Amino acid sequence: MIKCNEMTEINKKAEFGWVMFDWANSSYSLVISTAIFPTFFIAMTDEFIPAFGWQISNSSLYAFTIALAYLIVCLVSPVLSGIADFGGSRKKFMRIFTTTGSLACMSLFFFNGMNTLWIGVLGFLIASMSHAGSLVFYDAYLADMVPPKRSDKLSAKGYAFGYIGSVILLVFNIAMIQKPGWFGISEQQVAEHLPVRFAFFSVGAWWLGFSQFSFAYLPKDREKAHKETSLQHGLHELRNAWKRIRSNQDLKAYLLSFYCYSAGVQTVVYLASPFAQKELHFESSDLVVVILILQLVAIAGAYLFAAVSKRTNNFTSMKVMLALWVLICILAYCVQTQKQFYYIAGLVGMVIGGIQALSRSTFAKLIPKDRNDITCFFSFYDVVYYMSVISGTFLFGLVEQLTGSMRNSVITVILFFAMGFIFLSRVNPQALPPKHD
């Protein structure tokens, strides 16, 4: 029989394994999705690229690639998560997505211009799909591991670990890019963009390597009575989860709000760098510094709004952040100088960590308490998230393609945040469990 202190030690290891997955995969979100790859992609490709009889701007192609990646994951992940929930294969699917994504990320080392554009697009597409797919199973662990009163804190801790780990790797990559001589890199290798391309490889290695702590310490997959993990069973589990969500008005309103504001948040995450590069003529090195500042502020922001939530409630804290997001987008539409953009980046950092951490923990609090099909509930959460990324990035790229200006696309982001605030206001605060639970 397991003693109490032994069980506590097991729980601590499991929580450590959980936050270490954020540490491992957040480097992809920072270096590939946000900091270095977007600017490298824009710099290494022609401004307009022929595709399917159209001349597509390189930034629109980048946005459409993100949308396509999340569309594929949106179609596939519900079935996978339903199967994983039925067959007790949560960790197995996390490992598959992590391995595939990290290897695809490493392949970006070979992207070096228009001649290898297919590697850049395909590698980025597969890595983005895999990164998103792994989070279906990772997020589902949260409600199983801690009671509702601790979910905010653990979720914020996960994001904080992710920010710290990704910043460490980003600083290393910045040093290699800015001071290649320190690493024995020749001028010829710099001309071949070796430091930047190595950054992509390092993200894949970091992601794959540190995720092994998660696979070692997270709870083992539990074999279910039935060995079959068919497509029919996966869809059956999803239908059951949807019936539960459909009958819960507060949960539906929350998911609508989450869809809207996540479209705004992720569009900012993915396309802020191309926006600053094209509209404000930032150099890649300057943008990396901006994003580094944003990440450091985001660590404090995640804990700040977790504290605000503790003193009030999750919804009040999130409404404050959504109001700030609307202000940020208005300022971004009007920004004219690089100095102004630095201030806006600081504001983004303050709210981006908080909104992401509280979104995840709030949903964990709202889902039904008899949660045997927990992965399926989080599958719906993640599918809503994927649909938001598809909507936000596709609409942003479409508006730019039609109007020729990324600044006009910012208006669509403002609308997403405003709608998110409206839907969140329809959720009854009493839907949250009492603080003393």
> CATH number of the domain that 89 lies in?
1.20.1250.20
Q: What's the N-to-C CA distance of the chain in angstroms?
A: 28
Does some domain include residue 401?
A: yes
Does some domain include residue 168?
A: yes
Does some domain include residue 179?
A: yes
- CA-based torsion, 409, 426, 319, 307: positive or negative: negative
Q: 286 in helix, strand or coil?
A: helix
What is the pLDDT at residue 281? 81
Measured CA to CA, the distance from residue 435 to residue 311 in angstroms comes to: 10
What is the pLDDT at residue 82? 66
Indicate if the pLDDT at residue 196 is higher than 50. yes
Does some domain include residue 1?
A: no
Identify the DSSP state of 282: -
Tokens of 176: 């290699």
Of 416 and 360, the one with more pLDDT: 416
Does some domain include residue 77?
A: yes
Q: What is the mean pLDDT of the chain?
A: 83
Burial class (CB in 10 A: 0-12, 13-18, 19+), 2: exposed
| pLDDT (tens digit per residue) in 248-277 | 888 889 999 999 999 999 888 888 888 888
Does some domain include residue 7?
A: no
Of 111 and 4, the one with more pLDDT: 111
Indicate if the pLDDT at residue 357 is higher than 50. yes
> How many percent of the chain have pLDDT more than 70?
87
| pLDDT (tens digit per residue) in 41-88 | 998 999 889 877 788 999 889 999 999 998 998 888 767 766 666 556
Number of domains comprising the chain: 1
Measured CA to CA, the distance from residue 101 to residue 196 in angstroms comes to: 19
Task: Answer yes or no: are the C-beta atoms of 116 and 149 closer than 8 Å.
Answer: no
Mean pLDDT, to the nearest integer, of 297-312?
Answer: 80
Does some domain include residue 219?
A: no
Indicate if the pLDDT at residue 280 is higher than 50. yes
Indicate if the pLDDT at residue 7 is higher than 50. no
Measured CA to CA, the distance from residue 21 to residue 165 in angstroms comes to: 10
Question: Which stretch of DSSP H or E encloses residue 49?
Answer: strand 48-51
Strands (E), 41-144: 48-51, 54-57
Q: Which domain holds residue 308?
A: 18-212+249-431
The band of 347, judged by pLDDT with boundaries at 50, 70 and 90, is confident
Does some domain include residue 243?
A: no
